[in-house]
Structure 1
Amino acid sequence: MANNPYIPTTVEIISIRPESEVDYTYRLAIDLDVDNGQFVEVSIPKVGECPISVSDFGEGYIDLTIRHVGKVTNQIAHLEVGDKLGIRGPYGNGFPIEEYRGKDLVIAAGGTGLAPVKSIINYFYRNSKEVNSLTLLLGFKNPANILFADEIAKWERADHINVILTVDEGDEDWTGNVGLVTDIVDRVDFDNVANRSVVIVGPPIMMKFTSLEFMKHDIKEEQIWVSFERKMSCGIGKCGHCKMDDTYICVEGPVFNYTKAKNLVD
């Protein structure tokens, strides 16, 4: 008998780390063969199921950065270390790491869009010789909503990583950049444009206009990758909830080259 693809594996929460007032990173004890940018379906019996991007992974664990804003995620907020969650996946296509090797890579992330690309950043943080340079454009609503603050500080200390951080709205203690991610694109070094690869993840409007901003600097469409966040209920292309035009985001995405992504509309 074939295995039922809808049956989750029960896994234990081994740590919980607060990132903001509503965002928490849950480390789960499970070995998964994950590609950077893939997602899993997370479930609680009698409550429901939701798709969550894998924000990092390693031997014996995956990290899920979860915002407590919905039925399932609000219930997850009541769980503690040692409690269990249902996991199935991983699903979808991730970022093509091989395309970025030897390149001047730029990763632009808005808000929770940093979670799906965090594992890529950490990969090239650990393997600095595999990328020519790495520039991070990170935007958040305000200082209180900055995710992964400790890791951002770690990336800032790396010689081969240029971190440019901005917030939409500062406060009395904020001395950094104020503005949208699109406002800091021109701070990227665009010498040798042909050797650039660009990854952009965030709200759809942010990805659209950030992509256009890069293209003003002669970055070609095929040099840009984006990732869509959708209500991917089944994860295997059966339910149709994530379908855009004739494309099932859960199967063909969530990562797309811009040449494909630009034609995906609701």
Structure 2
Amino acid sequence: MVKNNYAPFRAKILEKYQQTELDWTYRLECPIKPIFGQFMEVSLPGVGECPISISDFGDGYLEMTIRRVGKVTEGIDKLAPGDVLFLRGPYGNGFPLETFYGKHLIVAAGGTGLAPVKSVINHFYAHPELLKQCDILTGFKTPRDVLFKGDLEKWAQTFRVEVTVDKLDESGNLEVIANSCTRKTGLITSLIPDVRLSSLEDVRVIIVGPPVMMKFTAQEFLCRGLEKENIWVSFERKMSCGLGKCGHCKIDETYVCLEGPVFNFAKAQTLLD
């Protein structure tokens, strides 16, 4: 029988964790082991389908952190453990983990951009001997928007973790942010000058977040002398089919769902909408 790449499969919700007012992490029963950085097409029958990044995975499960922002995600938000989602995938190219081995890895993630790279961080947290050093820079709008607080606390026990917010909310403090992390206010680009780079040849950078954030964050690292070939980004696009057929994610001649969502910056800098 020929496999139908458009046919979704059932995935039972095992657990559901609230991250923020709008964001929930869903642990789904799934036998598939994806590549770090890939995405799935997630659907509700009679409602619709949308692409969601895989935030983590393990034996028999995968996790996705989903923000309630539209018709499909509003439907997903109403589901509970024991209910079923429908998945297609995984799709796309991921992060080249072997390229980071023995290097100083810097992860710069803005907002929900922390989700697609969470599995990469967890991999190296479990195997810190694979890296020379690791810095995790994260930026959010307000303290209420901070994702994965428990993970940030955990990562800070092994890696250097900095969290910044664009502005304070009505609470007026940063105490809700992971206590083991360096906490500041300002854009994520403000964190880059303080990162110590002992050897530019050994530095590798991952940047994930809104397009404007990725653009200016990459520029900051380039200004510090990094080669564009040592920077990777992950694009968030409306990847409707995941198979390079519909063209929704196409930029010039590049299908993001096929060649991405992870790109080396040498290629990414040429992808202009």
**Superposed counterparts of 1:10-25, under 5 Å:** 10-25=10-25
The 8 Å contact of residues 33 and 57 in structure 2, kept in 1 or not, is answered as no
- 1:174 CA displacement: 1.9
The 8 Å contact of residues 190 and 217 in structure 1, kept in 2 or not, is answered as no
- 1:190 CA displacement: 1.4
Moved over 6 A (4+): none
* 1:197 equivalent in structure 2: 204
- In 1, distance between residues paired with 2:11 and 2:231? 35
* 2:166 equivalent in structure 1: 168
- 1:191 CA displacement: 1.5
The one-letter amino acid paired with 1:165 is V
- Name stretches of at least 5 consecutive residues in structure 2 with no aligned partner: 176-182
SS, match of residue 120 in structure 1: helix
**More deviation in 184-193 or 92-101?**
184-193
RMSD: 0.8
* 2:224 equivalent in structure 1: 217
- In 1, distance between residues paired with 2:131 and 2:156? 16
- In 2, distance between residues paired with 1:202 and 1:173? 24
* 1:127 equivalent in structure 2: 127
Is 1:145 aligned with 2:145? yes
Encode CA deviations 1:216-263: one digit per residue, 9 max, x unaligned.
Answer: 110110010000000000001000000001000000000000000000
- In 2, distance between residues paired with 1:33 and 1:88? 13
- In 2, distance between residues paired with 1:33 and 1:136? 25
SS, match of residue 170 in structure 1: coil
- Name stretches of at least 5 consecutive residues in structure 1 with no aligned partner: none
> What is the TM-score when the length of structure 2 is the normalising length?
0.95
1:262 corresponds, among 250, 260, 269, to 269
- In 1, distance between residues paired with 2:153 and 2:166? 20
- In 1, distance between residues paired with 2:77 and 2:104? 39
- In 1, distance between residues paired with 2:143 and 2:78? 25
The one-letter amino acid paired with 2:23 is D
**Superposed counterparts of 1:3-82, under 5 Å:** 3-82=3-82
- 1:173 CA displacement: 2.0
* 1:245 equivalent in structure 2: 252
The 8 Å contact of residues 39 and 51 in structure 1, kept in 2 or not, is answered as yes
The 8 Å contact of residues 109 and 137 in structure 2, kept in 1 or not, is answered as yes
The 8 Å contact of residues 141 and 167 in structure 1, kept in 2 or not, is answered as yes
**Superposed counterparts of 1:90-101, under 5 Å:** 90-101=90-101
> What is the TM-score when the length of structure 1 is the normalising length?
0.98
Encode CA deviations 1:125-166: one digit per residue, 9 max, x unaligned.
Answer: 0000000010000000000000000000001112xx100110
SS, match of residue 157 in structure 1: coil
The one-letter amino acid paired with 1:30 is C
The one-letter amino acid paired with 2:80 is E
Encode CA deviations 1:87-135: one digit per residue, 9 max, x unaligned.
Answer: 1100000000010000000000000000000000000000000000100
- In 1, distance between residues paired with 2:190 and 2:121? 22
* 1:110 equivalent in structure 2: 110
